[in-house]
Structure 1
Amino acid sequence: MHHLQQSFTVQFNYQVFFTAGLFEPGNTLLSSFLSNVKSNAHRKIFFIIDSGVADAHPQLIQDIKNYFAINKEVKLVEHILIVAGGERVKNDISYFDHVLAAVNAYGVDRHSYIAAIGGGSVLDMVGYAAAVSHRGIKLIRIPTTVLSQNDSGIGVKNGINYFNKKNFLGTFAPPVAVFNDERFLATLSDREWRSGISEAIKVALIKDADFFKWIEENAGLLTRRDMAAMNHLIWRCASLHMEHIAGADPFESGSSRPLDFGHWSAHKLECLSNFDVKHGEAVALGIALDTVYSNLSGRLSSAASRRVVDLLMALGFEVTHPLLQVNEGTSPIMDGLEEFREHLGGELTIMLLVAIGKGEETHEMDAGLLEKAGHILATSTH
């Protein structure tokens, strides 16, 4: 018997930049990045913008055109595609098809760039389209929400929903660069502003007790939309996420998903609510449920559990939802555990808390304790 064996490693490098006014004529951050990538090919850049961003920043398209009229390192594709924002762009396959059709029509090749400007859903969909077109077109992400600037926009995942399941189709494909522009945050609704903070609480709870304490101390500034406080939150949250990606399993070949603390119920709740509950809001609810469960299962102190729930409420998050209740061990949310197990590829692995800043993984959840945790949160008099 003969056999051949091959093994190789692919190096991925990307940077996350922080700026204000990315497309202002005097801001050379983007043009410098594009000129530093040496290529003899005739490179293009094709922009896709979240409709919510385009509406909130009516001058944006003209700013982009003016920018590339001055900075000619790459050729701007004249047509700038506007797509719906929010979960709809991941649920309706026609948006994905539009991107592929444009890539084909405008000759956007592997040496060219697709630049996505928008919230996490748009970045996810465009990232998936970029990853599968020509086996991978260079993706530049320009996240415009708190959630995408501190979490999804700086990660290596992308995808769309299929079979009514979140991220059923997708790939691991890092961007070539991410540009976080604080000016996009100024036009967010209060709800969107708050929504993204939950991912910072999540990563602090499993990785950094000092960061959790900082969020507690600055909750007032954050709710009053203090930009300096938000910039720090985004920077720290992004850096913790990126440290994790650089660890042992960036493409999640195992069943361990430590960064998905609070997410097994959050993903299901989003679907059950027809995405009326935003991802960040669902994550806050999931964090509350899994924190109280961590306490009831003997892992986490009552004082620490109370701190987490108090912080979520201080920031204006709901901590209970009718769809999150488990009744006699059965409820639609329990299907979320099985779907999460499928998504992980076999073994159910749930991150729970043993202390603020420290998690541990378990492979089973007790329906009776989940019911009790939901009841405690529903009747909480915080």
Structure 2
Amino acid sequence: MPRHDFLIPLNFKHRVCFTRDAFSSDNSLLAELLEEGGGRRVLVLVEEAVVDLWPKLASEIEGYFADLGFDWRGIRVLKGGETVKNGDELVEAVWHTIDEEHIDRHSYVITIGGGAFLDATGFALATAHRGVRLVRFPTTTLSQDDSGVGVKCAVNRFGKKNWVGAFAVPFAVVNDFQFLHSQDEETRRAGLIEAVKVALVKDDEFFQWISMNMEALAELKPEVLEECVERSALQHAKHIAEGGDPFESGSSRPLDFGHWAAHKLEQLSGFSLSHAHAVAVGLALDTLYSAKCGLLRECDAERVIDVIEMLKLPLWHEALDLRDEDGRRRIHEGLEEFREHLGGELTVLLLRELGRGQDVHHLDEGLVDSCLDELRRRYAVVKKAEGRC
């Protein structure tokens, strides 16, 4: 029988914007973005924690849209946090709201919140009507410098991170730095780990900049924090748009450096460990492994670990010592789960030098254990120095 192959080319515009006070009456950025798409109906979803920090936000948003001529469908305040990705409640609530407000594929839904909230609401929007226009407003460091500018959305299932999800390019991403500075110090600082990650795998000059500005970053100096977030976001977006595999159909995933262990560690901790802290541990592990297997100079590995420690992020978590009935560390299960999630051959990025990675297809379990033991020793030294043996 004859076979017929048809090529279906796809082009997306990935709009990533940086501003401050996006809902101020004299800031036309958002209105211009919406006019560009031609849609008229607008609905806003806001994470509850953001409203708690910005009690006047709802009135500011309503005031912004009052005279713009859009078909305004109001604001819904919904719960966020990592736990919303573990169930159906938030996704179902968004679906019901879309149906009740007659939101169609030419409408806009603006979502304002942290990474987990954007993930879950994004999944609901990607699946409603097979895709509703999404305008993301990331509010945390981690979502502004990484996940919020991505083209993925997902929720957790079967105890596994991001098991159910979709690739869906948002209509636009607006990084409003006013939200960035509303977080507590720990959340602001921890989210910088994704900037460290992308610098390590894509841009040595950026990593040098982070190292040189480490003290200011650790102190959360606003202008330095904003520059770091912007540079990280643009590196992530550039890789997605220009890296040749925006929807991850291949086996290489450089932006997931350190994440095979991080995702499993989150699961092993019952998701009590934040994504940023888990990534810090995962980066430390894969950096140390890169050095111990002979790819990366040990002095460069030490520079990376110094940066992680200066950000006051962990190198160790007790769940790394959880073992199965045969005495094998359960963190090793993360490699197969990582391969299965991606498909195809196991591909893990290691560091060949700062700013340049190398894909490998096997990790030596004994060497991984040796690295984990080293991280535990370093952790014990730090705790002893702090007087907490």
State the TM bucket, normalised to the shorter chain. over 0.9
Within-5 A mapping of 1:295-314: 295-314=291-310
Q: Report the counterpart of residue 340 of structure 1 in structure 2.
A: 338
Could you say what secondary structure the match of 2:271 adopts?
coil
Q: Which residue of 2 aligns with 1:55?
A: 52
Structure 2 spans left out of the alignment, 5+ residues: 383-389
Alignment of 1:245-260 (within 5 A): 245-246=240-241, 247-260=243-256
Mapped to 1, the partners of 2:81 and 2:359 lie a distance apart of 31
Asked if 1:375 is matched to 2:370, the reply is no
1:352 to 340, 350, 353: 350
CA–CA distance in structure 2, aligned partners of residues 225 and 3 of structure 1: 59
State whether residues 326 and 374 of structure 1, in contact with CA within 8 Å, keep that contact through their aligned partners in structure 2: no
Superposed, 1:324-339 pairs within 5 Å as 324-325=320-321, 330-339=328-337
Matched, 1:98 2:93: yes
What CA deviation, in whole Å up to 9, does each residue of 1:197-240 have, x standing for no partner? Answer: 00011011111111111111111111211111011111111111
Equivalent pair of 1:22/1:30 in contact (CA under 8 Å):
yes
Report deviation, 1:248. 1.0
1:281 Cα deviation from its structure 2 partner: 1.0
Shift of 1:322: 1.7
How do 1:1-382 residues align onto structure 2 when only pairs under 5 Å count?
1-38=1-38, 43-72=40-69, 74-78=70-74, 80-246=75-241, 247-325=243-321, 330-380=328-378, 381=381
| TM superposition shift of 1:113 | 0.7
Instruction: Judge which range, 183-192 or 288-297, deviates more.
Output: 183-192
Note if contact 1:144-1:185 (Cα within 8 Å) is conserved in structure 2. yes
State the alpha-carbon separation in 1 of the partners of residues 284 and 185 from structure 2. 21
Q: Distance in 2 between matches of 1:93 and 1:204?
A: 35
Cα distance in 2 for residues equivalent to 1:23 and 1:32: 12
1: CA distance between counterparts of 2:180 and 2:265? 26
Q: Partners of 1:271 and 1:27 in 2: how far apart?
A: 42
Contact 2:154–2:164 (8 Å) recurs in 1: yes
Q: Aligned equivalents of 2:189 and 2:272: distance in 1?
A: 15
Q: Secondary structure at the match of 1:77?
A: strand
- How far apart, in 1, do the equivalents of 2:190 and 2:43 lie? 29
3-state secondary structure, aligned to 1:243: helix
Q: Distance in 1 between matches of 2:367 and 2:333?
A: 16
State whether residues 22 and 181 of structure 1, in contact with CA within 8 Å, keep that contact through their aligned partners in structure 2.
yes
Secondary structure of 1:248 counterpart: coil
Q: CA deviation at 1:37?
A: 2.5
Distance 1:332 1:243 in 2: 35
Inter-partner Cα distance in structure 2 for 1:324 and 1:362: 22
Letter in 2 for 1:313: E
Determine the C-alpha separation between the residues in 1 that align with 2:327 and 2:276: 26
Name the CA distance, whole Å, in 1 between partners of 2:110 and 2:317. 37
SS at the partner of 1:46? strand
SS of the aligned residue for 2:179 comes to: helix
- Structure 1 stretch displaced more, 305-314 or 317-326: 317-326
**1:195: how far off?**
1.7
Does the 8 Å contact 1:325/1:371 carry over to 2? Answer: no
Q: Is the 8 A contact 1:265 1:324 kept in 2?
A: no
Q: What's the offset of the Cα at 1:89?
A: 1.5
SS at match of 1:167: strand
CA contact (8 A) 2:189 2:220 kept: no
CA contact (8 A) 1:159 1:171 kept: yes
Secondary structure of the residue that 1:250 maps to in structure 2? Answer: coil
User: How far apart in 1 are the matches of 2:220 and 2:298?
Assistant: 30
The answer to whether the 8 A contact 2:295-2:351 is kept is yes
The answer for unaligned runs of 5 or more in structure 1 is: none
* Cα contact 1:89–1:95 (8 A) shared by 2: yes
CA distance in 1 between counterparts of 2:36 and 2:288 reads 49
Structure 2 letter corresponding to 1:371:
D
* Post-superposition offset of 1:114: 1.0
Deviation at 1:329, TM superposition (A): 7.2
TM-score (norm 1): 0.96
Superposition deviation, residue 127 in structure 1? 1.1
1:175 partner letter: P
Q: How many residues are treated as equivalent by the alignment? A: 377
1-side partners of 2:29 and 2:152: how far apart?
Answer: 25
> Structure 2: which amino acid aligns with 1:51?
E
Q: Contact conserved, 2:190 with 2:311, CA < 8 A, in 1?
A: no
**Residues 169-213 of structure 1, C-alpha deviations (whole Å, 9 max, x = no match):** 111110011111111122211121012100011011111111111
The change in CA–CA distance for 1:233 and 1:19 in structure 2 (over 3 A counts) is same
Q: State the SS of the aligned residue for 1:9.
A: coil
Give the Å deviation of 1:346: 2.8
TM-score, normalized by length of structure 2? Answer: 0.94
In the alignment, the residues of structure 2 paired with residue 221 and residue 329 of structure 1 have an alpha-carbon distance, to the nearest angstrom, of 43
Match of 2:385 in 1: none
SS of the counterpart of 1:194?
A: helix
